[in-house]
A and B are shown apart, each in its own frame.
Chain A
Amino acid sequence: MNKKALAIKCLKAFFIGLILLLLYAPILLLAVYSFVDTDTIGMWGEFSFTHYIKLLGDSVILKMISNTLLLAFLAALLSTVLGTMGALGIYYSKRRTKAALSGASQIPIINAEIVTALALAITFVVIGLGKSYFTLLIGHMIICTPFVVLSVMPKLKQMDNSLYEAALDLGASPFKALFGVVLPQIIPGVISGFMLAITLSLDDYIVTSYTKPSTFNTISTYVYNATMKGNAHTAEVLSSFWALTTILFIVILGVTLAANLTGGKKKERTK
């Protein structure tokens, strides 16, 4: 490798590293403070595991976390399925339908969350659905699905149309052609849509608070409510979430490293 190529390679690595560092600086801060016994970021304190003990010992907090994770997973799954089908349908539709559906799809993204939340809540009241886990799921799906559609569409536009026709010509049924030919080409989009959906669901507060059953609590609703009128106890719970952050980070890192070590070569070939 000549010097120029090496220099460019280093530059690229440096750039990625820099951006990663900026992205992770706050997370690292939280991780550091998860081992300090203070409830306020920015204050000195001593090394201690209090936050971890609080996190793992408080059943209310654990229930909140499991609620949040389960809801996010479910909502993301449903949104991904619905959104992928929607994206496929939009892609193959005529111009007018395409425009109409694309437009309608963007409405939840444009709207401030309170608008979506309130409008949805009013609609549910009128229909007679009230507030339940079902309405909560729908609320989250409304936020997530447009992002799934937006993630899948570029892959569809990049796709080679002729492969589908070729598959049909070779005798495959439309279903098989779809699943065997089209889907694999858009999988990256589907997966990234799924990831985005999980993110949106995890962080959502307003739509959640307007569509959830009364005593259901997620991390977000707790954090937001605590920010409005907090006291010593809310501060403790909030700081236990730093511990959660660190745990999550380590778990994900571990999983991806493990997955990557085994699946690395495979990815190279299917490019």
Chain B
Amino acid sequence: MKGKKIACVTASLLLLSSLAPLSGCGSEEEILLRVYSWEEYIDEGGEDSYSYDPVENPDAPSMIEDFEAWYEATYETPIRVEYSTFGTNEDLYNQLKLGNKYDLVCPSEYMIMKLAAEGMLQPLSEEFFDENNELNYYVNNVSPFIADVFENGSMTVGEETHSWSEYAAGYMWGTTGLIYNPQIDGIADDLDEYGWSILLQNKYKKQATTKDNVRDTYFVGLAILFRDELMNLDRNAPDYNEKVTEIMNRTDEKTVSAVYEILLDMKRNIFGFETDTGKSDMVKGTICLNFAWAGDAVYAMDLAEEENDMKLNFYIPKESANLYFDGWVMPKGANTQAAEAFINFMSIPENAVRNMDFIGYSSVIAGEEVFDYVVETYSAEDSDETAVEYDLSYFFGEGAVINAPSEQLNRQLYAQYPPQETMKRCAVMDYYGEDDARINELWTHIKGESLDAWAIIVICVTVIAIVGGVLLMKFGGKIDFFRKKPKKGYELVKQENIR
């Protein structure tokens, strides 16, 4: 009886296992593309999407879904995208360091340089740069301005030096600046007069905020420290931007100590360091000056108009401002073909518009559809008499000029696409490399509390005294010196474990 049972079970198992490979037959290999990017940093479809149309596109699939469909149609292989999100560049770095595998990640410019320096990236393939291939939407549509920046930017990869464009394809870009409330008396003049050092002015005590991260704040510190030098540069010289970039990348000890003093001053004067609350604080009027990234600034300005009927402006100080970007890079071991296809799909001008509209930042792509979108968003009404000509040919190519209401010279349009003149003074701040530790120590000292030396000594002595006292109370009984001696004439028989 038992033998039969065993035979039955074995037979059925064998049968089942033989069926298994049959199920695999006939279907192609599905590619898995693991993308790791910021939260809500891609068009997610639905009613909020730019592509939504109640009649023609009521379903409005997300960008990811569209990509999967497009890839399968173009390359005749099914693909599945696993899209996960991170909160900060440092989190991204930690996750990669821990060995998590991704095909495509979207770090900020300095993190790209850090990852490259540590040999964690693989370069974009040669096929990616073939402009004759019409599927290479990125190289065919990226703005010449951005392409130049990427080409001229250099970073170390292991032992060698490479340009950014060999490893990274841009996604969104922007500058930093100050959102301000123009209703405040004299604020526009003060901004002109003081630039970044307006954050040190007593008039704006507890009215300004800066970002709670070391890089943005260090940049401001540098700009304040070298204000004279920056303002005295010849803006028409061909190497103006190079000189600015050099100054804004100084990380030597002397500079760092000087910046430390400035930032300490600033800490006392500002309302606080913020990561996210700055926008709502500006809108509510709690503060009137807010260090912001351009993309955030656009959102803040939109919010203020919507919720509070308030018009906020954006100012890019004349000394310099940080030019930042988020770009797609491939960690080592990535599926190059699929990753590059993803980048190219994102770079189709229509899709760039969708993403831009959803996120609020500026895309690096400069195709026709993008320019049309900008015109659509910012063009002045025909009846608007204050309309001025806003030249964006440096970004979009010949003849890209918008007729915009004059107030936009200080507002959303200015934030999303600063004029060429302004861009000349914007510099990318590299990854600090070996000086990273020094600058992080600077940050620790700025953020941390400080007690005078005497206070620390007093506290240390008190602590040691308390520790000593307690130890004595507990263990004093066991040490001969502290034992109670018997009276004269009496002898101690046995003293053991008397508690």
Contacts and interface: CB of A to CB of B under 8 A. Distances in A.
B98 A233 contact: no
Interface stretch (A17-25, A36-44, A150-158): A36-44
A230 B82 contact: no
Contact of A228 (B83, B88, B95): B88
B307 A45 contact: yes
A196 to B, nearest CB: 26
A51 to B, nearest CB: 15
A203 B39 CA distance: 18
A45 B361 CA distance: 26
Interface string B306-322: 01100000000000000
A97 interface: no
B175 to A, nearest CB: 16
Contact of B308 (A41, A43, A60, A231): A43
B87 A40 contact: no
Given A40-B283, A222-B39, A232 B360 contact: yes
Contact of B39 (A214, A215, A234): A234
Given A214-B84, A215-B83, A233-B48, A43 B98 contact: no
Given A227-B276, A228-B87, A231-B295, A121 B98 contact: yes
A232 B302 contact: yes
A233 B87 contact: no
A101 interface: no
A215 B84 contact: yes
Given A131-B100, A225-B39, A230 B284 contact: no
B77 interface: no
- Report whether over half of chain A's contact residues are helix, strand or loop; otherwise say mixed: helix
A224 interface: yes
A41 B279 CA distance: 12
Interface string B90-110: 010011001110000000000
A37 to B, nearest CB: 10
B378 interface: no
A155 B39 CA distance: 44
Task: Pick the 8 closest A-B CB pairs, nearest first.
Answer: A225-B39, A214-B84, A228-B87, A225-B87, A227-B276, A43-B307, A40-B280, A233-B40
Interface of B: 34, 36, 38-41, 44, 48, 82-88, 91, 94-95, 98-100, 275-276, 280, 283-284, 295-296, 299, 302-303, 307-308, 358-361
Interface of A: 38-45, 60, 118, 121-122, 125, 131, 209-210, 214-215, 217, 221-222, 224-234, 237
29 contacts: A39-B303, A40-B303, A42-B284, A43-B308, A121-B98, A125-B99, A209-B87, A210-B98, A214-B82, A214-B84, A215-B82, A215-B84, A217-B85, A221-B85, A225-B39, A225-B85, A226-B276, A227-B276, A228-B38, A229-B38, A230-B39, A230-B40, A231-B296, A231-B299, A232-B299, A232-B302, A233-B48, A234-B40, A237-B40
